[in-house]
Structure 1
C-alpha cells in the first residue's frame, strides 16, 4: 500500500505530458473522481477527438506527423477543408474515442473499473499486470475511424465525401460523449457501493467472491453473448443496458 501511495504521489507531481498541458474537459471530472481515491491513480486520458494529420509520407506515427486539425468537439466540413490547404504529404482523417489508463492498487480495484467500463459500452477495455505487479486498467472503445484523404498533397476524395466523413465522425463523437457520461455515473455508483461495504467492514474480496479467475469468466461470457447478439442483429448496436449480467447488480445484491 505504501509503495502504491508513493508511486501515485510521484506520478501526480509530474507536469502534464500532453500537447496542451492540461486535462481534456470531459475526462477531467473522471480523473479527479479517481485520483481522490487512494486506490487509483490516473496515468493518461483523452476524451475523444477528431484529427486531421499530415503523415509526411512516414506512415501514421504521431511523433513524425504534422497536426493540421485537432478538435474534441463536433467539427464541420469547412474546418477540414481549411486544414487540407496546409497539407503537403499524405493526409489522414481520424476519429479517436475516449481512452483512460488508470493505475490500480489491487486487482479487485481494476476489476471494478473494468466491469463499469464494459457495462458503459467501452468493450475494448482491459487489465494488464506489468513488472513488479503494476496493475493498469485501460478504458477503451472500438468505434474508431481512420480514412486517407490525400496523397503527396493531392486530394484523393471529393468534398461531398469529406462532408459525409465529418457527419460520421460527429455521430461517433456524440456516442462517445454518451458513453463517457454512462461510465461516469456508473463509476460513481460503484465507488459509493464499495465505500459502503468498507464502512460495514465487509471484506474487499466480497466484490468478486468467486475470485479473479471466476470473475474473468463472467467477462468472457458477457463478451461472447454480446458478439452472438451482434451477429444475430447486425443492424442493431447492443447498448450497455441490454447486458443483463451487469456487475453493478452485484453491489445491489450485496447491499440487500
Structure 2
C-alpha cells in the first residue's frame, strides 16, 4: 500500500478533522464526502464559512492561549446576536467573517493542479499548493473576501449600534457570495472527477483532466503576453502557480 493511501485510510477511519470544530460542517459534508470518495484526495480540515465575534487581549501570548468565541454562526447573523456577544466581552472583541476553507492532501502533483484549477475558477483566488520536505502535497482552497473589524477595546464598545447593523449586512452579503462559490466549486469538482484519469502517466503524458488544466494555464500565459509583452510564447505554462515549500 502506498504512503498516501495508508495515510488516507488512517485519517478517514479515525474520523478526525483538524479544524477547531473537529468535524465537517453540515453545509459542506456532501462536498467533502465526494472529494474523499476519489482515490486522489483526502481532506484534512475544513470550514464552510462563519461569522464570529472573537474575544481576546492586547497581549499576543494571551490571545494565542485563550481565544474565546463570544458568538459564532455558519449562517447569516443578526445584529441582536452580535450585541449580545459584545455584552460578554471582558477586554477586546473583533467582529469577523471568514470564508470557506478546505485543506486537502493530494496523491500527486497533477491531482493538486486539477483541484487548484477548480478552486480558482470557482472564485477561491487565494488557493495554493504546498509541497513538504518529504513530498507531502497539500492543496488549500481559500478566498480573499474576509472581514475583520474591532468593536470593543479594554471593555469599551467603540462603535454605534447603527454601525453594527451595517457590519452585519456586509457580513451577510459575504456569506451569500461564499455559498455561491461553494456551489460552483462543488459543481466543478464533480465535473473534474468525472473525467477518467490514468493511474500512472507514462513518458510525461498526463491525463485528459490534467491536460485541461495545462491548456488553461497556457491560455492565461498567452493573454498576459498580449497584455504587457513581458512573457514569451514559450514560457512555462505553470509559471504563475506558486509552490510554497513547507514542512507539512
User: For residues 124 and 45 of structure 1, what CA distance do their matches in structure 2 show?
Assistant: 15
Structure 2: stretches of 5+ with no match in the other structure: 229-248
TM-score of the pair, normalised by structure 2: 0.80
Does the CA contact (< 8 Å) of 2:32 and 2:43 recur in 1?
yes
Does the CA contact (< 8 Å) of 2:49 and 2:99 recur in 1?
yes
Q: Please say if 1:113 is aligned against 2:115.
A: yes
Show the counterpart of 1:74. Answer: 76
TM-score of the pair, normalised by structure 1: 0.77
Structure 1 counterpart of 2:91, from 84, 89, 92: 89
User: For residues 47 and 113 of structure 1, what CA distance do their matches in structure 2 show?
Assistant: 17
Show the counterpart of 1:241. Answer: none
Deviation at 1:220, TM superposition (A): 6.6
User: For residues 37 and 219 of structure 1, what CA distance do their matches in structure 2 show?
Assistant: 28
User: For the aligned residues, what is the CA RMSD?
Assistant: 2.9
Partner secondary structure for residue 149 of structure 2: strand
Structure 1: stretches of 5+ with no match in the other structure: 229-256
- The count of residues paired between Structure 1 and Structure 2 equals 221
Does the CA contact (< 8 Å) of 1:58 and 1:64 recur in 2?
no
Runs of 4+ in structure 1 deviating by more than 6 angstroms, as ranges, are 222-225
Show the counterpart of 1:33. Answer: 34
Show the counterpart of 2:190. Answer: 188
Show the counterpart of 2:54. Answer: 53
Residues 121-132 of structure 1 correspond to what in structure 2 (within 5 A)? 121-132=123-134
Does the CA contact (< 8 Å) of 2:107 and 2:137 recur in 1?
yes
- How big is each residue's C-alpha offset from its partner over 1:26-59, in whole Å with a ceiling of 9 and x where there is no partner? 2211110111111110011000000101113334
